[in-house]
Amino acid sequence: MVQLSFLSLVLAATSAVALELFVPEPCTFTATPTPTTSIPVGKRDPKGLDALAQRKRRYFGVAFDVNRMSDAAYTQLILAQFGQITAENSLKWETTEPSRGVFNFTNGDIVVKTAQRNKMSCQSIAPLRAHTLVWHSQLPSWVGNGNFTKKELISVMKNHINNVAGHYRGVPYAWDVVNEAFNEDGSFRQTVFYSTIGEEYIDIAFKQARLVDPKALLAINDYNIDGQGPKSTAMINLVKNARKRGVPIDQIGAQAHLVVGTLPTTIRENWQAMANLGVWVAVTELDIRMPTPANATSLAQQAADYKTVVNACLAVSRCVGVTVWGASDKYSWVPEVFSGEGAPLPYDDNLAPKPAYNAIVQALKA
C-alpha cells in the first residue's frame, strides 16, 4: 500500500527523525555501470530553499543534468539550495532506449548518484523525481514511426518501463509515468501511444510501473493544469475514473511553466480539487518567463508570481513540494523554445539571486 505508507510518513514527517523514513533505501543504492565521470559533492546550505521548505514539510527541488556539471559554481549552488533533483533530459526515452532493446543509463546514473552521494536521500524528504516513461516528445523515431500494431506497441512500452523503472527500482520517490497526455481543450493528445493503443495506454503504463517499482509514487504530469479550465478538468476526471478502476495513479504533477503577470487566479483551488481526489500534487517544472530583457518591473512581478505559486502549494496540504526547471536563467530551456522570452528562474545569468529568489524565501519562511 504505497499510498498509505506514504501518507503516514508525510504525517510523521513533522519530526526530523521521521523524514529519513520517507525514502525506502536512502543511501545505499549503487548504480551500474559505475560512471566514469566523477560525481560532484556539495555542501547543503542550512538556510537554503530546501532547508526552508522542509520546515513546511515540503521539498524544494530543481531540474539538473550531467551537461551542467562542468559548471562547478552552478553545481555547488544546486547542491547547496535544493533537496530534490529531476534529471532534465537523461531519463527520457531517446536517452534511455535510443534503439529498440538497447538501454543506456550512463547519464541517468550520474544524476542519481549525485543525489545519493550528496545524501539528498538522507537529508531530504524526496531526493529524486524520475522523468519520464511515456511521452510523445524526445521519443526516438523507432517508436514514433515504428508502425507497430497495438499488441506490439504495448509490449514495447511495457519493456521500456520494465527496464528503465527496473534499473532504478526503489530509488526515486516518484516517477512521471505519463507526460502531457492532454490537449488544451481537454481531449487526448493524438500521440503514437493514444492512436495505436487507445486511452488504455495510460492504465497499462501505470499498472506496469507499479509492478516494476512498487515503492515509487506514480505521477501523471502536464502543463497548463495550474488554474481551473478544460485541461485541468480533463486531468481530474481521468485520475478520478482511473483510480476507481484500480489504476495506481498516486500523484498529479503540475509542470507550472508560467508567464509573468498572467498567472491563473485559481491555482490554489485547482490544486486543492486535485488533492481532494486523494492523490498527491507536486509542482514539477516551475518557471515563470517574461519578455527579455528583464527590467525592474518585470522582475518584481515575477517575484510576486513565484510567491503566489509557492503559497498555493503551501496552502494545499497534499502538495508535497516544488521543483524549478533549472536554477539559473543561463541554463533555462525557455529562450530556445519561446522566442523573445526568458529569464524565468530564481537566479540570473551570473548565478546571483533575483527578486524571485527572495520572494520564495519569504513565502517559505512565512
Using CB under 6 A as the criterion, which residues of the chain lie in contact with ligand XIL when the complex forms? 88-89, 179, 255, 285, 333
Q: Which grid coordinates are listed for 310? A: 509557492
CA distance 201 to 204: 5
Which CB, 255 or 328, lies closer to ligand XIL? 255
Burial class (CB in 10 A: 0-12, 13-18, 19+), 241: exposed
Task: Count how many Cα atoms sit within 13 Å of the Cα of residue 117 in the half-sphere of its side chain.
Answer: 14
Identify which of residues 320 and 334 has a Cβ nearer to ligand XIL in the complex. Answer: 334
Length of the chain: 366
Of 287 and 355, which has the nearer Cβ to ligand XIL? 287
Residue nearest to ligand XIL (CB): 333
Q: How far is the CB of 7 from ligand XIL (least distance, A)?
A: 26
User: Shortest approach of ligand XIL to residue 179 CB, angstroms?
Assistant: 5
Query: Of residues 94, 184, 285, 336, which has the active-site annotation?
Result: 285
Q: Nearest 5°: CA angle at 138, between 235 and 135?
A: 25
Which residue, 271 or 333, is less far from ligand XIL as judged by CB? 333
Element housing 131 (H / E)? strand 128-134
Smallest distance, ligand XIL to C-beta of residue 177, A: 12
Residue whose C-alpha cell reads 502531457 in the numeric block: 180
Write down the least CB distance from residue 119 to ligand XIL, Å. Answer: 26
What's the closest the beta carbon of residue 172 comes to ligand XIL, in angstroms? 15
- Please give the Cα distance from 272 to 36 (Å, whole number): 44
Closer to ligand XIL by Cβ: residue 257 or 318: 257
Question: Greatest CA separation found in the chain?
Answer: 56
Active site residue 285: yes
Q: Alpha carbon 185 to chain centroid distance?
A: 23
Cα-Cα-Cα-Cα dihedral sign, residues 134, 140, 142, 144? positive
Cell of 59: 521539498
Residues 6+ apart with CB under 8 A from 241: none
Our CB check for ligand XIL shows the closer of 52 and 130 to be 130
Count CB-CB contacts under 10 A for residue 295: 11
For the bound state, the minimum distance from the C-beta of residue 219 to ligand XIL, rounded and expressed in Å, comes to: 11
Q: Which residues are catalytic?
A: 285
